[in-house]
């Protein structure tokens, strides 16, 4: 009897197992994509285009969650509180990945260890622009004019600690310029004052600035990339005009909380790469002057850490602190 009961129990267990629902493959529910900037900007538009292109193949909706503020630290805080199950990701750029660890004395996270690196997206180039009335038509003339008028020329940026601010600080250090920073609350008001001539110059990202560059409302002198930008093929790089180390851009990628399942990382990385080839996304990249940089999670991590080290030196030299 005892043997019979043991066999009966084993048979019941096997039957129950055979009728149990199989574990759902990833993803089995909607994903949340945090954008640490307001809706309607270049980062937000990029995120929405990529998410729309990824959804059909993923088989699940991707919900954009805008969490702007505090140099992207609000968005990072939301990400850090999420379960590392692959259903909450964030579009990160220079602030979260590279700058904040050098600008905040008490940052509540460590980019090297507190993120899961999913994949690079690409970069928004930045360019040195001036008002059309500014008496410099080349970088050499710009440098000569600023040096002849130390601390009398000002430059705009969308705010302290932005890629635009740090790009000009990098150029300022390499060219030994005395030029005064005027931070604004966003790219739009900075561009308005550049076009109006209230401030003569700035480093302008092409996502925001291509329309006013092409309209002639500002004059572009150089692009801060190792090679010429496809969106402005006639504009020289800083390297071509004698400043080989002035490379700066808004660098974007996808991250998640530390400890995400590898299955989720691989799936999102693969879908991201496919989405970057979608015709609508390719067109948006071209319209924004955005350069795609697909890569593995390991590529993303290595590039982020190398860029953080490079910018840490610039930030320290400039004395930029945000707390």
Looking at the fold, whether 233 and 265 belong to one and the same domain comes out as no
The reply to whether 113 and 149 lie within a common domain is: no
The confidence band for 41, taking pLDDT boundaries of 50, 70 and 90, is confident
* Residue 165: domain span: 125-241
Indicate which CATH number applies to the domain containing 261: 3.40.190.150
Confidence label for 2 from pLDDT (cuts 50, 70 and 90): very low
Residue 2 lies in a domain: no
205 and 274 share a domain?
no
Band of residue 323 on the pLDDT scale cut at 50, 70, 90: confident
**Residue 221, CB-side half-sphere exposure with 13 Å CA sphere:** 24
What integer pLDDT is reported at residue 17 of this predicted model? 42
Assign 289 a pLDDT band (cuts: 50, 70, 90).
confident
Q: Are residues 118 and 258 part of one domain?
A: yes
What pLDDT does residue 24 have? 67
The single-letter DSSP state of residue 106 is T
Could you report the per-residue pLDDT of 106-136, keeping only the tens digit for each?
A: 999 999 999 999 999 999 889 999 999 999 9
**What is the percent of the chain with per-residue pLDDT over 70, rounded to a whole number?**
93
pLDDT at residue 238 in the model: 97
In a domain, 304, yes or no: yes
Q: What is the pLDDT of residues 151-188, one digit of tens each?
A: 999 999 998 999 999 999 999 999 999 999 999 988 88
165 and 225 belong to one structural domain: yes
- In a shared domain, residues 259 and 113: yes
- Output the DSSP codes for 157-184: ESSTTSHHHHHHHHHHHHHT--EEEEE-
Of the three residues 241, 268, 298, the one that is the final residue of a domain is 241
Q: What is the pLDDT of residue 86?
A: 97
How much is the pTM? 0.86
pLDDT at 18: 43
Q: Are both 192 and 225 inside the same structural domain? A: yes
Same domain, 131 and 234: yes
Mean per-residue pLDDT for 226-250?
93
> 75 lies in a domain?
yes
56 vs 220: CA distance, rounded Å: 40
- How far is residue 6's CA from residue 298's CA, in Å, rounded to a whole number? 51
Q: Which of 181, 208, 241 is the last residue of a domain?
A: 241
Query: Which ranges in the chain belong to alpha helices (H)?
Result: 2-19, 42-58, 73-81, 94, 100-103, 139-148, 163-175, 187-196, 206-215, 262-275, 279-288, 297-318
Is the pLDDT confidence value at 268 over 70?
Answer: yes
For residue 6, pLDDT over 80 is answered with no
3-state secondary structure of 81: helix
Count structural domains, the chain: 2
Give 115's strand partners: 257
């Amino acid at each position: 009897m005892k043997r019979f009961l043991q066999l009966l129990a084993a048979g019941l267990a096997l039957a129950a197992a055979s009728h149990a629902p199989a574990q759902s493959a990833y993803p089995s529910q909607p994903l949340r994509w945090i954008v640490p900037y307001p809706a309607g900007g270049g980062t937000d538009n990029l995120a929405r285009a990529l998410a729309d292109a990824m959804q059909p193949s993923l088989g699940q909706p991707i919900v954009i969650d805008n969490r702007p503020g505090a140099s992207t630290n609000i968005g990072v805080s939301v990400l850090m509180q999420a379960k590392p199950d692959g259903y909450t990701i964030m579009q990160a750029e220079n602030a979260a990945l590279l700058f904040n660890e050098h600008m905040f004395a008490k940052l509540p996270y460590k980019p090297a260890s507190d993120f899961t690196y999913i994949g690079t997206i690409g970069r928004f180039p930045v360019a040195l622009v001036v008002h059309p009335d500014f008496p410099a038509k080349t970088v050499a003339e710009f440098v000569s004019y600023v040096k002849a008028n130390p601390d009398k020329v000002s430059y705009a940026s969308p705010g302290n600690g932005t890629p635009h601010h740090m790009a000009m600080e990098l150029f300022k250090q390499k060219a030994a310029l005395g030029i005064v920073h005027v931070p604004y609350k966003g790219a739009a008001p900075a561009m308005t004052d550049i076009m109006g001539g209230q401030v003569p110059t700035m480093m302008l990202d092409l996502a925001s600035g291509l329309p006013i560059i092409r309209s002639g409302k500002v004059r572009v002198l150089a692009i801060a990339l190792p090679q010429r930008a496809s969106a402005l093929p006639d504009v020289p790089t800083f390297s071509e005009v004698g400043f080989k180390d002035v490379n700066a851009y808004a660098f974007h990628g996808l991250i998640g909380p530390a400890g995400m399942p590898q299955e989720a990382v691989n799936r999102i990385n693969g879908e991201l790469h496919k989405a970057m080839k979608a015709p609508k996304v390719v067109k948006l990249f071209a319209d924004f002057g955005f350069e795609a940089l697909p890569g593995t999670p390991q590529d993303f991590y290595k590039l982020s850490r190398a860029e953080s080290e490079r910018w840490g030196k610039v930030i320290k030299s400039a004395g930029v602190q945000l707390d």
